[in-house]
Amino acid sequence: MAKAETIEKIYELIEPLNKKGIDLAPDVTFASDLELDSLTVMDLVADIEDEFDIVLPLNLLPELETIAHVADAVEKILKKG
Amino acid sequence: MDLLDKFDSIAALRASLPFEKADPFTVVMEEIISETEAMIGGRRTILAGTNNYMGMTFNEEAIEAAKQALDDFGTGTTGSRSLNGTYLSHKKLEETIADFYGMEHCMVFSTGYQANLGMISALGGKDDFVIIDADSHASIYDGCSMGNATIVRFKHNDVDNMERRLKRLPEDAGKLVVIEGIYSMLGDAAPVKELLEVAKKYGCMTLVDEAHSMGFCGENGRGIAEQEGVEHLVDFYVGTFSKSVGTVGGFAVSNHPKFDVLRYVSRPYIFTASPPPSVVASAIKSIEAIKRGSNRRAHLWENAKRLHAGLKDAGFDLCTEKAESPIIAVHFPDVMIGTKFWEQLIMEGVYVNMAAPPATPAGMFLMRVSVCAQHTTEQIDEIIKRFKTTADKVGLELKA
């Protein structure tokens, strides 16, 4: 499970896209809960990359369905350094 | 479980579009009168959305050569380039393109889509990185999905955004930066010089897709990289015959000494039939004509600038500040007014492309107009006039 700090940062980046005002939680999904289309998700990924100074490859995207998935992926990439 | 159920939302969206008299997804060209006119729904219509930039579809030499090739070599090769599908003319076409680009090597593919698939999937191996623009054409995205490389995406035409990503990649890894000269939906040009210089600074190889810029950008019509004087920074060009060249097929050119090995590893090159001899013959003649076509180039740019200025003056919301290409994209506030506009415009006798997400960036709804070197000045003025009439009829508010 990712650190609260990582998840908080991701919440901050999602907030401007959270048009439906969903309560953000680790198990919230991008597609069905937040109703973000794939292009918006890709833009969000770009913001996350810049926030954490990492590369989050496009290939990973299909597996990242929830906020927790993204947070875990971010930490895994940060650890690999 | 019905496998088609998952498309129900798409079908519903399609059904919700309010077309009554004409529908952009079911347009049939009943008769092609010339490069710039066709009969659609029984109406004589100006074609302003065909990507036929250099107007080569009725080039006399190309037609003659195609007819001769049909007589001499038949209707098709029935085979892969790697087996029985390479004729002398395929080799001649590759030489013609290599010569056009002033490069050593060329591979001809059966479509432009396959050229990107074949190049990107073969170049990007398991431990490599392919770095692409967010607004890349589907053929680039699909080439990425097909290969095994790690895909990194940067913000459209944003040099700093690309550099930040390149900095994060391992120094010694294989890296391919893929950009397009002109982006097909908005018709905007890439800052190729800056992008390629940064790519080279980080040790990347570069691939530039000149599909929508070949024929009229640069002194010889090679594309944006020629226009900006940075051809020495391009490792691979990809292009198509289905736009300025006026037929169908694709190609890649390079000076790389090992280039030809791609013929043995690029699956979209190998596992499909080669282009038919008539297509190959017309492509050769057309590319030769493009090479000496500086008058056509000049007239095409005049048309593009005239259309851009005319629509801008009329108060339409254009996607680029000036005409950066023969693609002039007009932005519409929403789907309803956009669809109504397209429908009325075709009734007025002008065909343009209606472009909607996901083909367009940032959820934009566009009328994508593309001009041809064979459009007369009168036709361009007529397009502008009919745009205004249409706006009036559907109640589109124009900027004063």
We report the CATH number of the domain holding residue A65 as 1.10.1200.10
Which residue range(s) make up the domain with A16? 4-21+28-80
Chain A positions touching B178 (Cβ under 8 A) are none
What is the residue-wise DSSP string for B44-57?
EEEE--S--TT--T
Q: Which residue has the higher pLDDT, B28 or B357?
A: B28
Report whether B80 contacts B272 (CB < 8 A).
yes
Report the DSSP beta bridge partners of residue B150: B129
pLDDT band at A43 (very low <50, low <70, confident <90, very high): confident
Q: What is the pLDDT of residues B84-113, one digit of tens each?
A: 999 999 999 999 999 999 999 999 999 999
Q: What is the pLDDT of residues B131-140, one digit of tens each?
A: 999 999 999 9
Query: What is the reported pLDDT for B232?
Result: 98
The answer to whether residue B178 scores a pLDDT higher than 90 is yes
Residue B298: half-sphere exposure toward Cβ, Cα within 13 Å? 4
The helix (H) or strand (E) run that includes residue B95 is helix B88-101
Is B154 within 8 Å of chain A by CB?
yes
Is A8 within 8 Å of chain B by CB?
no
- Given A46, A53, A55, which is nearest B155 (Cβ)? A46
Q: What is the largest CA-CA distance in chain A?
A: 35
User: Average pLDDT of chain B?
Assistant: 96
**Touching B: A residues 40-79, CB under 8 Å:** 42-43, 45-46, 49-50, 53-55, 57-59
Report whether B218 contacts B85 (CB < 8 A).
no
Is B168 within 8 Å of chain A by CB?
yes
Report whether B37 contacts B44 (CB < 8 A).
yes
Please identify which residue in the block is written with the tokens 């190049």.
Answer: B119
pLDDT band at B312 (very low <50, low <70, confident <90, very high): very high
Chain A positions touching B363 (Cβ under 8 A) are 37, 39
B126 in the Ramachandran plot: left (φ > 0), alpha (ψ -120 to 50) or beta?
A: alpha
Contact B161 A46 (CB under 8 A): yes
- Number of domains within chain A: 1
Q: Which two tokens stand for residue B350?
A: 């002008």
pLDDT band at B272 (very low <50, low <70, confident <90, very high): very high
Query: What is the reported pLDDT for B181?
Result: 98
Measured between CA atoms, how close is B350 to chain A, in angstroms? 31
The answer to whether residue B114 scores a pLDDT higher than 90 is yes
- The pTM (predicted TM-score) of the whole model is 0.95
CA distance B153 to B260: 28
Query: What is the reported pLDDT for B82?
Result: 96
DSSP helix/strand/coil, A11: helix
A48, A52, A58, best to mutate vs chain B, most B CBs in 10 Å: A58
pLDDT band at A20 (very low <50, low <70, confident <90, very high): confident
Percent of chain A with pLDDT over 70: 99
Domains of chain B and any CATH numbers: 5-54+294-394 (3.90.1150.10), 60-291 (3.40.640.10)
Query: What is the reported pLDDT for A39?
Result: 80
Query: What is the reported pLDDT for B64?
Result: 98
The answer to whether residue A46 scores a pLDDT higher than 80 is yes
The answer to whether residue B377 scores a pLDDT higher than 80 is yes
The answer to whether residue A1 scores a pLDDT higher than 80 is no
Which among B52, B66, B46 is positioned nearest to B277, based on CA atoms? B66
The answer to whether residue A37 scores a pLDDT higher than 90 is no
Measured between CA atoms, how close is B186 to chain A, in angstroms? 17
CA distance A48 to A43: 9
Query: What is the reported pLDDT for A29?
Result: 94
Query: What is the reported pLDDT for B363?
Result: 77
- Given B134, B161, B165, which is nearest A55 (Cβ)? B165
Q: Work out the average pLDDT over B119-128.
A: 97
- Given B144, B155, B358, which is nearest A39 (Cβ)? B358
Q: Work out the average pLDDT over B332-350.
A: 95
Query: What is the reported pLDDT for B289?
Result: 97
The answer to whether residue A10 scores a pLDDT higher than 80 is yes
Percent of chain B with pLDDT over 70: 100
Question: Residue B9: is it exposed, middle or buried by C-beta count within 10 angstroms (0-12/13-18/19+)?
Answer: exposed
Q: What is the pLDDT of residues B17-51, one digit of tens each?
A: 888 899 999 999 999 999 999 999 999 999 999 99
Report whether B338 contacts B262 (CB < 8 A).
no
Measured between CA atoms, how close is B320 to chain A, in angstroms? 21
CA distance B62 to B46: 23
Q: Which two tokens stand for residue B179?
A: 């950009």
- Given A37, A49, A58, which is nearest B151 (Cβ)? A58
User: Which chain B residue has the Cα nearest residue A36?
Assistant: B363
Contact A42 B150 (CB under 8 A): no
Is B80 within 8 Å of chain A by CB?
no
CA distance B253 to B275: 17
- How many interchain CB pairs under 8 A, A with B? 37
| ipTM score | 0.88
Is B165 within 8 Å of chain A by CB?
yes
Query: What is the reported pLDDT for B362?
Result: 76
| Catalytically active residues of B, by annotation | 184, 212, 243
Query: What is the reported pLDDT for B359?
Result: 77
A41, A53, A55, A61, best to mutate vs chain B, most B CBs in 10 Å: A55
Q: DSSP letter for B129, please.
A: E
Query: What is the reported pLDDT for A2?
Result: 85
